[in-house]
C-alpha cells in the first residue's frame, strides 16, 4: 500500500475508528473468555519448535528473553500500545519488569476485560485505559520502556506515534516491538501467495479442516482492499512501513525476524490440529517450518514478523510550521483532507469541523500564526492551544471568494517540545448543500499555513 492510499483511508477515519473500537472490543472479550488455537502464534507447540528458536528465547516468552538479554533494568515506568485484553502486559507484571505500566487500547471492551483480569490476579501495577494512540499526546521524558505487541500494525498515523514515542521516552529509554511487518493490507506478492498455497496443498485434508467453519481449506486468497476495510479498517494498514519509519528516529539494537511469511496464513484456524503428543503432527509441523525457513534463508521470501529493541536517536522530525506544500501528515493528529490548489496555484487543505494538529514548539515561540479562508456559510470558529480556548470568531455570511486571512494568537511559555492546536466549528458544512456540488465531505475552514513564532 502506498502512503497516498493510506491518506485516502483517513477521509473516513471517524467511522473507521468506531468500527475498530467495536470489533476489537468483541475480540478482547472473546480472548479473555477463552484461548482458542486460531492463529499460528497461539500454538505453544509451534512457538517452541520454531518461534523461540528464531528469537533465541529458549524456554522463555520471546519478549522476556529479549529484555533480559539486553539487560534492560527492572523497575521504572513503562507504556504498552494496543494492549487488547492485557495478557501480555499482565505476564510482564508478574515477572516484575516494571514498577508501573500504562496500557492503552482503543477498544473499551478489551480494556474492561483487561481490568477484570488484573483484578482477578491482584495486579495493581498496570493501569489499563481507553485511548486512541493516533491522537494521544504522551508526556515528555516519562517512560523507561515503550512496548507494542501486535498493536502497531493497526495504526494509520505511524509518523505521529513514532514522534510521540521519541518525546515520551527518557534519553536512555527503549522501544520494544513484537510486530507483523509484512505486506500492508495483506497484499501478498504472487510469489508469496503461490508458496502459501503449495504448502497448504501438501497437507492432508484432515489438517486443512477449518476449526471454525468445518470446511476443508483449499486455497489462501489475496483479499481485496475493500474486503480488508470491511473486515477491519485497521488491519495491517501500513505494516510494511513500520520498520522504515522507525529507523528514521530510532537505532535498532537487536532484531530477530521469525518468519510467519507462509505459516501465518497457511495455519490460520487449523493450527489446533497439531498436537505435541503426536509424533506425526510434530513431524508434519517441523516440515512446514523447514520449508518456510529455507525460503527465508535463500532470500526468496522475507520475514513477515519481527521482534526488535531500539533506542531513540533524539532526532525530531516535526517542524514549527505546516505549509501544505506536500501531502505529509507527520504533524497532523486528525481532521485534514487531501491538499488542494486554488485557481491561483495556492496549496491548502480543508479541515473537518473539528481538526487537531501538532507542531514543534521552539523554546522562544510566543505566537501561533494561522492563515485561513472562511467557509461560504457563517460559522463560529474556536482555536484551542494546548487544550485552552484562545480565540473564537464568527465567519461572515457571504465571505469573498478566495480571501485568505491571517490570525496571530499569543501562547504562553513552552512546557513541552510541541504545541497542540485544535480548530472547532459549531457545525460542519457540506459543499453538496451549499454549492450544488457532489462533494459530500463535512468540512470546516480552509487552511493555508500554521506557524509557531
- CA torsion 344→345→348→349, rounded to 10°? 100
Encode pLDDT of 311-356 as tens digits: 999 999 888 998 887 656 677 888 998 888 888 888 899 999 999 9
Q: Is the dihedral of CA 59, 63, 64, 66 positive or negative?
A: positive
Which residues in 120-196 belong to E strands, given as ranges? Answer: 126-130, 143-149, 169-180
State how far the Cα of 441 lies from the Cα of 11, in Å rounded to an integer.
9
At residue 4, the pLDDT reads 35
DSSP character string of 11-78: TTHHHHHHHHHHHHHHHHHHHHH-----SGGG-HHHIIIIIHHHTT-TTS-HHHHHHHHTTPPSSSEE
First to last CA, the chain: 37
For β-strands 388-394 and 380-385, DSSP reports them as: antiparallel
Cβ proximity of 82 and 154 under 8 Å: yes
State how far the Cα of 152 lies from the Cα of 161, in Å rounded to an integer.
9
Cβ contacts of 361 within 8 Å, gap of 6 or more = 320, 414, 416, 417, 418, 419, 452
At residue 16, the pLDDT reads 60
Helix (H) or strand (E) holding 120: helix 108-121
Q: Half-sphere exposure of 31 toward its Cβ, with a 13 Å CA cutoff?
A: 22
At residue 25, the pLDDT reads 60
At residue 403, the pLDDT reads 80
Here the cell at position 109 is: 471492551
Cβ contacts of 51 within 8 Å, gap of 6 or more = 41, 57, 62, 258, 259
DSSP character string of 312-360: E-------SEE--SS---TTEEEEE---EE-TT--EEEEEEEEEEEEEE
The residue assigned the cell 486455497 is 219
Spatial CA neighbour of 152 closest among 139, 136, 134: 134
- Chain centroid to CA 40: 21
Query: Residue 99 carries which DSSP code?
Result: S
At residue 177, the pLDDT reads 98
- CA 45-50-54 angle, to 5 degrees, is 145
State how far the Cα of 177 lies from the Cα of 73, in Å rounded to an integer.
17
For β-strands 169-180 and 143-149, DSSP reports them as: parallel
State how far the Cα of 28 lies from the Cα of 114, in Å rounded to an integer.
8
Spatial CA neighbour of 10 closest among 326, 383, 351, 446: 351
Which domains, ranges and CATH numbers included, belong to the chain?
3-312 (3.40.50.150), 321-452 (2.60.120.260)
pLDDT under 70 in the chain at which residues? 1-36, 326-329, 398-402, 414
Here the cell at position 234 is: 485497521
At residue 191, the pLDDT reads 96
At residue 324, the pLDDT reads 83
At residue 344, the pLDDT reads 84
User: For 140, phi and psi rounded to 5 degrees?
Assistant: -75, 135
State how far the Cα of 287 lies from the Cα of 394, in Å rounded to an integer.
70
Cβ proximity of 367 and 453 under 8 Å: yes
Encode pLDDT of 397-418 as tens digits: 766 555 889 999 988 776 778 8
At residue 296, the pLDDT reads 96
State how far the Cα of 450 lies from the Cα of 320, in Å rounded to an integer.
8
**For the whole model, what pTM was predicted?**
0.87
Q: Indicate the SS3 state at residue 366.
A: coil
Amino acid at each position: 500500500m502506498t502512503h497516498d492510499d493510506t491518506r485516502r483511508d483517513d477521509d473516513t477515519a471517524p467511522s473507521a475508528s468506531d468500527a475498530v473500537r467495536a470489533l476489537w472490543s468483541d475480540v478482547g472479550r472473546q480472548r479473555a473468555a477463552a484461548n482458542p488455537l486460531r492463529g499460528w502464534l497461539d500454538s505453544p507447540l509451534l512457538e517452541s519448535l520454531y518461534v523461540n528458536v528464531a528469537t533465541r528465547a529458549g524456554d522463555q516468552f520471546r519478549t522476556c528473553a529479549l529484555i533480559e538479554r539486553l539487560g534492560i533494568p527492572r523497575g521504572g515506568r513503562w507504556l504498552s500500545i494496543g494492549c487488547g485484553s492485557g495478557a501480555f502486559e499482565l505476564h510482564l507484571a508478574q515477572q516484575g519488569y516494571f514498577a508501573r505500566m500504562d496500557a492503552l487500547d482503543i477498544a473499551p471492551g478489551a480494556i474492561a476485560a483487561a481490568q477484570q483480569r488484573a483484578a482477578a490476579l491482584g495486579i495493581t501495577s498496570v493501569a489499563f485505559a481507553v485511548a486512541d494512540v493516533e491522537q494521544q499526546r504522551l508526556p515528555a521524558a516519562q517512560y523507561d520502556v515503550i512496548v507494542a505487541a501486535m498493536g502497531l500494525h493497526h495504526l494509520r498515523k505511524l509518523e505521529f506515534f513514532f514522534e510521540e514515542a521519541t518525546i515520551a521516552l527518557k534519553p536512555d529509554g527503549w522501544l520494544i516491538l513484537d510486530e507483523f511487518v509484512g505486506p500492508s493490507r495483506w497484499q501478498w506478492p504472487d510469489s508469496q501467495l503461490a508458496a502459501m498455497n503449495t504448502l497448504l496443498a501438501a497437507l492432508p485434508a484432515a489438517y486443512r479442516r477449518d476449526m471454525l467453519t468445518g470446511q476443508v481449506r483449499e486455497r489462501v486468497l489475496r483479499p481485496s482492499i475493500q474486503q480488508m476495510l470491511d473486515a477491519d479498517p485497521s488491519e495491517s494498514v501500513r505494516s510494511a512501513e513500520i520498520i522504515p519509519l522507525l529507523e528514521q528516529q530510532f537505532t535498532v539494537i537487536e532484531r530477530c525476524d521469525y518468519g510467519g511469511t507462509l505459516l501465518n496464513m497457511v495455519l490460520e484456524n487449523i493450527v489446533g490440529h497439531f498436537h505435541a503428543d503426536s509424533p506425526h503432527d510434530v513431524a508434519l509441523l517441523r516440515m512446514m517450518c523447514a520449508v518456510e525457513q529455507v525460503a527465508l534463508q535463500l532470500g526468496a521470501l522475507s520475514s513477515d514478523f519481527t521482534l526488535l529493541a531500539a533506542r531513540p536517536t533524539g532526532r525530531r522530525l516535526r517542524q514549527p510550521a505546516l505549509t501544505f506544500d506536500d501531502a505529509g501528515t507527520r504533524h497532523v493528529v486528525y481532521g485534514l483532507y487531501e491538499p488542494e490548489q486554488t485557481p491561483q496555484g495556492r496549496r491548502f487543505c480543508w479541515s473537518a469541523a473539528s481538526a487537531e494538529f501538532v507542531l514543534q514548539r521552539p523554546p522562544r515561540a510566543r505566537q501561533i500564526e494561522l492563515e485561513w479562508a472562511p467557509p461560504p456559510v457563517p460559522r463560529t470558529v474556536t482555536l484551542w492551544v494546548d487544550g485552552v480556548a484562545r480565540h473564537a470568531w464568527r465567519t461572515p455570511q457571504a465571505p469573498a471568494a478566495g480571501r485568505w486571512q491571517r490570525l496571530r494568537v499569543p501562547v504562553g511559555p513552552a512546557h513541552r517540545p510541541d504545541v497542540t492546536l485544535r480548530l472547532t466549528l459549531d457545525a460542519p458544512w457540506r459543499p453538496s448543500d451549499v454549492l450544488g456540488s457532489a462533494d459530500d465531505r463535512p468540512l470546516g475552514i480552509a487552511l493555508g499555513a500554521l506557524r509557531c513564532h
